[in-house]
Structure 1
Amino acid sequence: MKTNLKSIILMATLGLGGLSSCQDFVEINTNPNESATVAPQSLLGPAVYKLVTANINRNMRMNNEFTQVTVTTNDNLEFHRYLVRPSESEYMWRSWYIELTNIKDMYKSAGEQQQAGYKIYQGISLVLEAWVYSLLTDMFGDIPYYESNKGYSEQNTTPIFERQEEIYRNLFLKLEQANQLLNTSDAVTGDKGILDPIFNTDPEKWRKFGNTLYLRLLLRVAHKPELNAATKIKEIVDINPSEYPLMEDNDDSAVLRFTNQQPYFNPYFNAREIDFNGTKGYSDFFINNLVALQDPRLKIWATEATLGVYAGMQSGYKEGSIPERGSTLHKNLMTDPRLGNIMNYAELKFILAECALRNYVNQDAETLYKDGIQASMSFWDQTIPDEYFGNPLIGFLATDDNTELLQKVHLQKYFSMLFTDFQQWYEYRRTGLLDFSDYIGEGVQNNGKMPVRLNYPLITQSLNTVNYKEAVARLGGDNLNGLMWWQPNLF
């Protein structure tokens, strides 16, 4: 279990390592008189917690600025102006690949030990793998996949970058396999189940999450004919739903609900309010839309700028022309357990509503849309006002064309995915349905184009040069505007 600094850097930045996971958990979870294999249940909670907290960190820093949730008054932080320093890429690359080692070890350990109910952990592992790899490929494009996380086990420090199409193809196979593994009446024995902070190791809930994630990813590539994703969506929803159970209510939502007790603290629990809000304020887009919708979630999420008034600030303002900050993140969010959202039931309903509007499924889009709004309101402990759907900005109107209906669905989906890693950014890049242009200032850079990816980490460029250059050649350049396989040229 010894290594040197160079090995740690390689494993952390290239997605190569098996050793870093061992260092964190093996010694405290292994009886020296028994097998040296770490117990799978002991890997689950720490991996999920580290993933979710890393996602929240960069959601607040990057995603929220790209998608006009918040704007910073710090002139040197420029995400809202569509500028990203090359060094920004490393944090999520490293965070995701390190925990993929733990997730893969969970699968391996469960298979080796053959204890009662342990195939459940194999199913959970595959769901988590699909989730994390999808985050990686949707941010960067082609990435180390089949050869990743083998720096320690196979001394492979230069993994090839798989094409995104092939990655998605294999993610779908993983989710199919997970659906079968989790279709079981088995249960883990003793108190092992409570070590799962999301679903208490309930295989049915993990199965529903896996299939709901499957729909998210299928819809993301449904406009590409290569994987026949639209046909699979119809199979899951209309033709064979009993074989692909989906989330049924908010209790099925995949959320690491922070207990604010060891070890599951909201990462901002002990922060000062100034450290939480920093120099951020909510954007005009975010606040103005919620005000126009007369949305009760506004008071949960935002402070009043002045008594009884909510106000945002312009995104993409000119350098040196910092606008006055208005409403900020509500301090109660610092202890809110719902910030640990991975994928919630409301998102599923909006996915299904879009699928209905695009004729992928034979379902009623308006009902699904309303169910999604109800689910999101309930998730945040709010009640839909009596006249809410009478608002022409919300209700489906006979005069609305299909694009206008999709825009209404995606505005509500945008709010339902608040604080959910990079999903608002990924969805905007897929559809372009939300109109941020009316709110963007004259200081926006990158020719006014929303970034569609991040560049590969600098250390990966240096230490895996040959494979890096091959991936970049397929992208047409390692920059913010390099179109990946599923990315439509919308901007």
Structure 2
Amino acid sequence: MKTRLKSIILMATLALGGLSSCQDFVEINTNPNESATAAPQSLLGPAVYKVITANINRNLRINNEFTQVTVTTNDNLEFHRYLVRPSESEYMWRSWYVELTNIKDIYKSAGEQQQAGYQIYQGISLVLEAWVYSLLTDMFGDIPYYESNKGYTDGNTSPAFERQQEIYKNLFLKLEQANQLLNTTNDIAGDKAALDPIFNTDPEKWRKFGNSLYLRLLLRVAHKPELNAITKIKEIVDIKPSEYPIMESNDDSAVLRFTNQQPYFNPYFNAREIDFNGNKGYSDFFINNLVAMGDPRLKIWATEATLGVYSGMQSGYQEGSVPERGSTLHKNLMTDPRLGNIMNYAELQFILAECALRNYVNQDAEVAYNDGINASMVFWDQTIGDEYFDNPLVSFSSTDSNNDKLGKVHLQKYFAMLFTDFQQWYEYRRTGLLDFSDYIGGGVQNDGKMPVRLNYPLITQSLNTANYKAAVERLGGDNLNGLMWWQPNLF
């Protein structure tokens, strides 16, 4: 009972607002001569780490089951059957909104400090805001945005839900502003810079990440004409590349590389292998495609089912008919520093390849595609020869249709985004280009439709009822199949 009460109180302080009863205590115990906000450099590392570890947790639990990376042998956990319990939504909602408060405080604190170069922290804050808010809206649709995280500052415990189109419009403005703030010759002193676990507070690398994230989000809504996303993609890539620098190599990838020393442990570093891998195996789709391509990443990611043999499991199997588990997640992943991935250079190259195939930009799609493959191999410390690209499942062929090429791009992108929050799910929902249907079993539910969103958290329904109902009415119902603004009706 106490645990449930604490959960309710915590959820009420997030997107729903703050607890006004705490305000008198805070005011009494606040020194009026000092800033009430922590230094920006002290907030950055913990906020990013907590978002990433939460993402990894539910990537393994939800994303990987939806997108046939893994399949659980627990007959009562049914994500691979496209069933989701309503309570599942609360973990990510809570995790993201808590850290948005800290991310926003980075911007506020940097402005209060009024020190040379501190606009870098403001730029970083805006990039992180765009990243986390995009994760939220892409999972739920309309969400508290302009009025979120204002329970303590403004006493707003019932924030309105903003429309997704408006959210995306403002995310683009944040990334534009970040691009300007990070365009600086200033730097941060070494001891403070080192508190950034991703780019060591290098403004140019943060700028490249921000603009690469910009392309990810622009492409996600490019099929919607309202925000002129295609025009902006072309501007960034073709017309004004010097004004919008993007990632140029794996060295620019946005990755919190776990040191496995305090405070940046891989979240599974001290876990038992059974807790990491005990009830799941890789899917047929995942294993069969890697085997067919002769992909060297397979041995890094998966165990052998039997000596020299990799095998998967059927996703969506019938209840009561649990298949034999084959290859599992390699236990070395429990200490691997690369699981802290936000966005890597390989993903950017596949974005550029797709944009070229869709004639959004004047670039060579095959070059970008091949560069993306090579970048992912290098990221995972693997090498490939010409024989990899000679495989017709990999190479662009003169007989391939444009859709065939897009399918190959997205299969490679799927593998390059392994362990990257919910991006595999979001991208499949946007394109439907990967053919999971040949691998799905007869136990799949939800009319065979992969969910396109998660329901709003139950606590939000209870504590912000009026605004929740308004958002649900726009959505056409709070269910797994409700089409948000950018979601095409593909399934």
State TM-score, norm by structure 1: 0.95
The C-alpha deviation readout for 1:324-370, integer Å capped at 9, x for no partner, is 00000000000000000000000000000000000000000000000
Q: Which deviates more from structure 2 when the two are superposed, residues 186-195 or residues 32-41? A: 32-41
CA displacement at 1:385 relative to structure 2:
3.0
Per-residue deviation, residues 38-61 of structure 1 (Å, max 9, x unmatched): 100000000000000000000000
Task: Report the equivalent of 1:127.
Answer: 127
Structure 2 residue matching 1:71: 3-state secondary structure:
strand
SS of 1:191's equivalent in the other structure is helix
Instruction: Confirm or deny that 1:73 pairs with 2:97.
Output: no
Which position in structure 2 is the counterpart of 1:433? 433
Q: Deviations over 1:84-112 (max 9, x none)?
A: 00000000000000000000011001001
Match of 2:94 in 1: 94
Q: Deviations over 1:372-423 (max 9, x none)?
A: 0000000000001330111011000010001000000000000000000000
Please tell me the residue identity of whatever aligns with 2:379.
F
The 1:304/1:178 distance shift into structure 2, 3 A limit, reads: same
Residue aligning to 2:310: 310
Q: Which amino acid aligns with 2:117?
A: G
Whole-Å Cα distance in 1 between the matches of residues 446 and 48 of structure 2?
34
The question of 1:469 aligning with 2:469 is answered yes
Determine the structure 2 residue equivalent to 1:117: 117
Rounded to whole Å, the distance in 1 between the matches of 2:430 and 2:35 is 47
Question: Do structure 1's residue 209 and structure 2's residue 225 form an aligned pair?
Answer: no
For the structure 1 residues 46 and 12, does the alpha-carbon distance in structure 2 shift closer, same or farther, using more than 3 Å as the test?
farther
User: Does the Cα contact within 8 Å between 1:10 and 1:16 map onto a contact in 2?
Assistant: no
- 1: distance between equivalents of 2:18 and 2:434? 41
Task: Indicate if the aligned counterparts of 2:17 and 2:158 stay in contact, CA closer than 8 A.
Answer: no
Q: Which residue in the other structure is 1:359 paired with?
A: 359
Q: CA offset at residue 11 of structure 1?
A: 4.6
Alpha carbons 2:12, 2:157 under 8 Å: kept = no
Per the alignment, residue 350 of structure 1 pairs with: 350
SS in 1 for 2:242: helix
What is the correspondence of 1:232-247 to structure 2 with a 5 Å cutoff?
232-247=232-247
- Which residue number corresponds to residue 279 of structure 2? 279
Report the Cα distance in structure 2 between the residues aligned to 1:34 and 1:45, rounded to whole angstroms. 23
Instruction: Pick which of 10-19 and 475-484 moved more.
Output: 10-19
Distance in 1 (CA, whole Å) between partners of 2:421 and 2:35 is 37
The whole-number CA distance in structure 1 between the counterparts of 2:87 and 2:36 is 37
Cα distance between partner residues in 2 of 1:257 and 1:319: 39
Q: Deviations over 1:247-273 (max 9, x none)?
A: 000010000000000000000001111
TM-score for both structures, normalised by structure 2: 0.95
Count of aligned pairs between the two proteins: 482
- What is the CA-CA distance between 1:9 and the residue it aligns to? 2.4
CA apart distance, 1:144: 0.2
Q: Alpha-carbon deviation of 1:278? A: 1.8
Q: Distance in 1 between matches of 2:245 and 2:187?
A: 18
Deviation at residue 113 of structure 1 after TM alignment: 1.0
Compute the displacement of 1:188 (Å): 1.4
Amino acid at match of 2:370: K
Deviates more, 1:397-406 or 1:35-44: 35-44
Is 1:382 the counterpart of 2:378? The answer is: no
Distance 2:148 2:482 in 1: 22
Does residue 182 (structure 1) correspond to residue 197 (structure 2)? The answer is no
Secondary structure in 1 matching 2:154: coil
Secondary structure of the corresponding residue to residue 281 of structure 1: strand
Alignment of 1:289 with 2:297, yes or no, is no
Distance in 2, matches of 1:12 and 1:238, equals 46
Q: Residue 122 of structure 2 contacts residue 178 of structure 2 at CA under 8 Å; is this kept in 1? A: yes
Tell me which moved more, 151-160 or 62-71.
Answer: 151-160
Mark the runs of 5 or more structure 2 residues left unpaired by the alignment: none
Q: Which residue of 1 aligns with 2:144?
A: 144
**Structure 1 gaps, min length 5:** none
- Pairing 1:402-417 to 2, within 5 Å after superposition: 402-417=402-417
CA contact (8 A) 1:13 1:94 kept: no
